[in-house]
Structures are given as structure tokens and as C-alpha cells.
Structure 1
Amino acid sequence: MVENRPFLNLLSHLVLIVGVVIVAFPVYVAIIASTRGPNDFMSGIIPLLPGPHTLENYREVLFAGVSTSGAPPIGPMMLNSLVMALTIAIGKIAISLLSAFAIVYFRFPFRQLAFWAIFITLMLPVEVRIVPTFKVVADLHLLDSYAGLSIPLIASATATFLFRQFFLTVPDELAEAARVDGAGPMKFFRDILLPLSRTNIAALFVILFIYGWNQYLWPLMITTKPEYYTIVMAIKRMADVADAIPRWNVVMATVVLAMLPPVLVVVLMQRLFVKGLIESEK
């Protein structure tokens, strides 16, 4: 039985409100800054009301670029980030589904050793193996390409582990029934396992899309041509100017635009995302 305690209800709501304010206030300041002029934030006083330069700032970053920082228009860079994020998310899920399916449902020598070899790579993030990875990508002539941006980040031990744990909860009777009906391994995978994995796939897609969208170090290393810059690189270049004051209004306009695709993905897939994280019965 849940007790009705008004004081505890009020306290819990106050804590939630304070948490929302702490998280949302910097975002609100960024949105306000994107509507202001270049000198409005130089006085040390943060304006809290929108300014008159909204269309001007967003038009500049979308179509003209920022010449003082060498940043081209961010439209193509947002497209580059979108291609990179989608390729990483879809590639990680596809490879992880197949590898987890092979580990759980096929009996082959050193099966557990293969799984633990994949799992141990969790201790080797991109930053640790970035030099040999860069050497391989350079030798394959994948610098300044979408393949170079995405393929080295596709493998995912975390997704493989999660799909393996889920496949282990699927009753063996389903595989036996599919075998009796004459279904081969791939038909069983396509018609039974994939529909059952829908919520897990959605939850991982949201996480992996945001992971790919926010990549900075790897794109910075392998791109030298502006046509392959990503949106996160653009924000960094706009904020770091050598002989001038950063135009924070334009930087914040870029930040707001960079937030939109991840927010849109989370909003559209919120129900499946939450269900995939908390659902225990499949």
C-alpha cells in the first residue's frame, strides 16, 4: 500500500522541479544567446529575454558560415554528422545482433572465448587505440570520407553483450518449434528474434545515435577537408578564435541547431526507448 504523505509528495516535486531547472537553465541561456547581438554577453550580465537578432544569427550560421573562425555553413556539417550518427547506430546494431545470435545459437569451437574477446574490448575505448586505428584507416585511404568517419566506430561490445543477454532469455521451445516448421537459422532470426528485440533495438539506437552525433576527437583526426567537418567540430572552431573575441551569439545558434536532431530522436522514440530499458518480460 502506498501511503499518502502530503509533505513527502511536496518534497519530491520540489526536488524534481529543482533538478529540471538545473538541467534546463543552461539550455535556455543558449537559446536566449542565439537571439542576441555579438556584444550582449560581453558586459558580464546574462540577458534572460530574447533579442531581435534571431533570424539574422540563424541565417548566418546556416547559409554564410563564420569567416573569423574558418567555419563553413553548418548545413553540410549537420548532414555529415547525421550520416555518421546513422551509420554508426545502424552498423553497431546490425553487427551486434548477428554476433550475439552466432554466440548464443551456434555451437562452434572457442565460442565463449570469442565472446570474452569481444567483451574485453570494453576496456579499450577509441582514445586508447586511436593511433593504430588512424594508421589502419590511413593505409586504407579512408581519410576524408564517410567510411573513415563511421566504420572504425561501428563495432560495439556493449550492444553485443546486451543482445546476448536478451537472446539467452528467449525460450528454447521457440527455436525448437521453428526447426520443426522447417525454418532455417536466418528465418528464425528474422521472423522471431528481430520482432522480439524491437524495444532493445530502439533503446540502443537512441543511445548509439547520440554517441555518433557527439563524436569529436575521431572526426578531428581524420578530416582535413571542410566538406567532411561535423557539427561538433564546427562548434569548437567557432569558440576557438586566435585574434578575435568569439561571437557567442553565433556559437550558441550553432549549439541550438546541433541539439535538435538528438532531441528529435529521443522525443520520437521515447516510448520504445523507456520500454527497452525497463522491460524485463519479453
Structure 2
Amino acid sequence: MTRIDTLTGTPPSDWAERTAARLDGSQLGLHLLTGVAVFLLLLPVLVALVVSTKESGIVTTVGDLVPGRAAVENYRRALVTYGFWRFMLNSFLMAVVVVVGKLLISLLAALALVYYRLPYKNLVFLFVLFTLLLPVPVRFIPLYRLIVELGWNNSLLAITVPYLASATTVFILRQHFLSIPASLVETAKLDGVGPVRFLVSVLIPMSRAVLVGVSVIMFVYAWNQYLWPLVVVDTESLQVAQVGLSLLRGQASSGEVAWSMVMTGSVLTLLPPLALLVLFRKPLLETFTIQQK
């Protein structure tokens, strides 16, 4: 005699099979939904990649989204003829300087906020967070006047120094430092370890993954800057890649390959941050989940 499940009214084996089937169906639907979302996110990149290989970048129908044969020539023209490699080099130098300077300042600030007995320390931290509420364009006019008075316009200092302070990086590092066991700190104090040595020998090795993730975030942020370099830099040879895209569009607009050249520059601009995100995806995910520790 077959035993009937008292809750569902079906034999246990049938109930298990139906449950497994429902789970497989829900997982399949979830995978399909994820695949569609990923495809929609990648669609603009795929279109830009296809258009960058065509002689004429004008797309009017779906049939035009077929890879062309001018990829090598388009990328050669963008990098060599229009000098886009110089814009990318300027962006890379800017991003590296910003990452190194911002990381150093944020480490020292987080060290002071967590391990030093400062008067009104919590108030100082709230003031640091308050700077996140100020829109960036609001600071452009006084910051531009200051840069001009210092004589830093049209220089690397103009596009790097204003980005060296970061409330977001200070917040992330502070939260991570708070998750380090207090016993380790007390042991370091008993051993006579100074603050600089404690930072270099203990905190940085224990925070390597978080520091890498924060560095990737800061690099992508600095690499994508457009408005401030456009305002503070007048010399074309000193411009960054994001501004170089608009210059590339202006130089190529009179020819037949205007949009293909713009998409070529867009793909070139996308490669460095995309490579970093792929290479350091694990530290980046750990940085995003730091508050859960």
C-alpha cells in the first residue's frame, strides 16, 4: 500500500519529483532572466565594437550590424593619425597619480579616525561624509580660480590634486579597520610598534584585497573624468581620453567614417578599466561587501 503524504495528498516520491521539477524550472527561468539582463547590458558595447570595424559607421537597419573589414585601419587612424594614444596616456598618468595619492591620504585619515584619540573624532568623520553631499559642479568655480592663481592650469597637477581627497575611500577603509580584532592592536602596542610601522607591517598586509578593490574603483573614477579636464586644460595635447573622444568626433566629422571613428575611440577608452575589472574582480567584490563584516 502506498503511503500518502498528509500535507500534499501525494506519494512522497511523486512529491519529491515535482518539487525538484519546480526548482529546476525556477532556476532555468532565473538563468534565462540573468542572460537577458547581461545581453542588454552588453548590447551597446557589442554595437560599438561592430561599428568600429566598418568603413561607414552609419547604422540604419539590423542588417548593418555586421562586422566590417576596416577594423585595423580604423584603430590605426585613431591611435596614430589622430593621436588618440596621447589622450589615453594622459588619462593613465592622471589615474595612476590619483590612485596613489588618494590611497595614501585615505590610509592616513582612516588610521587617525580609528586608532587615535582625537577630540571630536566622530564629528570630524561626519564632516568627511558631509562632503559627499556637495555636487561636484558646485566646486568648479572656486576650484578653477584657485588652480589659476597657483599657476597649475594646463598641467598634470590641475587634473590630479583636486581628486586626491576621497570621503568614500576613507569610509571604506575605516569600516575595514574597525573589523580588525582589537587584540591584534593591543599586541602591537605592547610590542612598542609605532603608528607608521603598524600601518605598513600590519594594516596594509591585512587589507591587501580591500586596497586593491578600492584602487580599481578609484582608477575607473579618475579614468572617466571629463568635465573638469575640459574646463581646466586648454592644450589639446594634454587632454584626457574622455575629452579626446569629442575631439576625435570633431576631426572626423567631415569624413565618411565619423561614427566608426567615434566608436573606435570608445572601444579603446573602454579597454583599460575593463581589463582591471576582470583581473581584480574578486578584491572588488570583497570591497563592496566590506560593511557586512
* CA-CA distance at 1:110 after TM superposition: 2.9
Pair 1:105 & 2:115 matched: yes
- Counterpart of 1:101, as a letter, is L
Work out whether 1:41 is the aligned partner of 2:58.
yes
Partner of 1:247: 258
Kindly state the Cα deviation for residue 281 of structure 1 after the two structures are TM-superposed. Answer: 8.0
2:71 aligns to what?
A: 54
Tell me the CA shift for residue 147 of structure 1. 1.0
Question: What root-mean-square deviation, in Å, do the aligned CA atoms of Structure 1 and Structure 2 show?
Answer: 2.0
Whether the 8 Å CA contact 2:175–2:291 is kept in 1: the answer is no
Secondary structure of the residue that 1:129 maps to in structure 2?
A: helix
| Separation (CA, whole Å) in 2 of partners of 1:162 and 1:182 | 27
Equivalent pair of 2:176/2:290 in contact (CA under 8 Å): no
Aligned residues: 271
CA shift at 1:63, angstroms? 0.5
Name the structure where helix makes up a greater proportion of residues: 2
Inter-partner Cα distance in structure 1 for 2:287 and 2:124: 26
Partner amino acid, structure 1, of 2:245: I
Report the counterpart of residue 25 of structure 2 in structure 1. 7
| Amino acid of the structure 1 residue aligned with 2:267 | V
* Partner of residue 278, structure 2: 267
Q: Which amino acid aligns with 1:249?
A: S
The residue type paired with residue 15 of structure 1 is L
Q: In 2, distance between residues paired with 1:74 and 1:241?
A: 12
Distance 1:225 1:22 in 2: 38
Q: Deviations over 1:166-221 (max 9, x none)?
A: 21222221111111112111111111111121121122111111110000000000
String of CA shifts for 1:29-71, please: whole Å, max 9, x gaps.
1111111013x516x2252221111111111011111xxxxxx
- TM (normalized to structure 1)? 0.90
Tell me what 2:46 maps to. Answer: 28
Q: Are 2:94 and 1:63 aligned?
A: no
Shift in Å, 1:278: 2.8
Match of residue 159, structure 2, among 149, 152, 158 = 149
User: Aligned partners of 1:141, 1:41: CA distance in 2, in Å?
Assistant: 44
Structure 1, unmatched stretches of 5+, are 66-72
Gaps of 5+ in 2: 1-18
Whole-Å separation in 2 of the counterparts to 1:241 and 1:62: 13
> Residue 95 of structure 2 aligns with which residue?
85
Alignment partners' CA distance in 2, 1:61 and 1:253: 7
Q: 1:236 to 1:190 in 2, by over 3 A?
A: same
Paired-residue identity, %? 35
